[in-house]
A = this chain, B = another copy of it.
Amino acid sequence: MKVLILGGGGMLGQKLARRLIENGLNGDATPEITLHDVAFPAERFPGVEYKTGSIADPGVMEGMASLRPDVIFHLASIVSGEAEIDFDKGWQVNMHPTWALLQALRSEHDASGGAYVPRLVFTSSIAAFGSPYPERIGDDFLCAPQTSYGAQKVICETMIADFSRKGFIDGLSIRLPTICVRPGKANLAASSFFSGIIREPLSGVEAVLPVPDTVRHWHASPRTAVGFLTHAAGLDTALLEGRRALNLPGVSCTVAEQIDALREIAGAETVALIQPQPDPAIMKIVEGWPRDFDPVRARELGFQAETSFSDIIRVYLEDDLPNAKSG
């Protein structure tokens, strides 16, 4: 089985590649893996094909499609904060290449006489939603994004659903919760602090908390996100009944509850490294974000997440903190 990961150099792409190497995919213990991204970490996985470039460059998606991957994980995008700052770049990276990919896959489908129908797993986001919300967002709630990033995600979801309905591909979009605790450095995502206030103190470093601790949000660990991706790759999409975008399970908690969990695991001294420093710009963005979901469909389809924020911190301690300390 051939597997392509677009955005394969990113945090999630790397963890996904590692999982595929260790566990295989859809019953194939040794899938042929190709990673595409603008850049990669220095340490490379043996036996994996690397392709470097921008998905926004002409011909790139046609080249990727010509590999005829059986499964494509499309994780490539610029993050919400960057798409807000650079409007053109947001659309150029987060929308147009998805269209080019779909058209290229459709050409391969046609050239194969209809035999080639790849599974496409697209990482969408809870940024597809915009306030006002019910306290818990149900599976039937409208998408009304309040960021360009969210708008681009909704548009890609809609294209993928239509190309799938026509039988050119077999795609689905999974709306990831905010991934927490992200290893590595803070990024331009407005949500970056949710990881920062856990990650930095656990490494003995101060972290800024730009919002009140009453803010409630929706989280899953990187390990769980990789589980979502591999589960989506093997899902019987007939069960989606034409609705190919899914709200995924996660943990709803307040920042205060995040901090309580950190205190319980790492002590008051660690928590003391969190510096409240209200940032009106970030507060305004975060106020517009979902707080809680009731993802009935995804749970019925077998997607599983952590059930407490303590579990999310423990995943970080097991999977990423050792590398952070050695790095």
Chain A interface (Cβ < 8 Å from any Cβ of B): 87, 130, 132, 134, 139-146, 148, 151, 154-155, 158-159, 161-162, 165-166, 241-243, 245
Contacts and interface: CB of A to CB of B under 8 A. Distances in A.
Given A144-B242, A151-B161, 14 more contacts: A87-B166, A130-B242, A130-B243, A134-B140, A140-B141, A141-B141, A141-B142, A142-B142, A142-B143, A144-B243, A145-B162, A151-B158, A155-B155, A158-B158
A164 B144 CA distance: 13
A62 B166 CA distance: 32
Contact of A143 (B143, B159, B241): B143
A244 to B, nearest CB: 9
Contacts of A151: 158-159, 161-162
A56 to B, nearest CB: 15
B87 A146 contact: no
Contacts of A241: 132
B143 A165 contact: no
Contact of A148 (B140, B144, B162, B242): B162
10 contacts: A130-B242, A144-B242, A144-B245, A145-B161, A145-B162, A146-B165, A148-B162, A148-B166, A151-B161, A154-B158
Contacts of A159: 151, 155
Contacts of A145: 158, 161-162
Contacts of A243: 130, 144
- A87, A130, A154, A245 interface centre (most CB from chain B within 10 Å): A154
A144 B140 CA distance: 9
A128 to B, nearest CB: 10
A142 B144 contact: no
Contacts of A146: 165, 242
Contacts of A165: 146
Contacts of A155: 155, 158-159
- A139, A161, A162, A242 interface centre (most CB from chain B within 10 Å): A162
Nearest to A83: B162
A152 to B, nearest CB: 8
Contacts of A148: 162, 166
Nearest to A244: B144
Contacts of A144: 161, 242-243, 245
Contacts of A166: 87, 148
A87 B164 CA distance: 13
Contacts of A139: 142
A130 B165 CA distance: 12
Nearest to A288: B242
Contacts of A141: 140-142
A137 to B, nearest CB: 10
Contacts of A242: 130, 144, 146
A141 B241 CA distance: 17
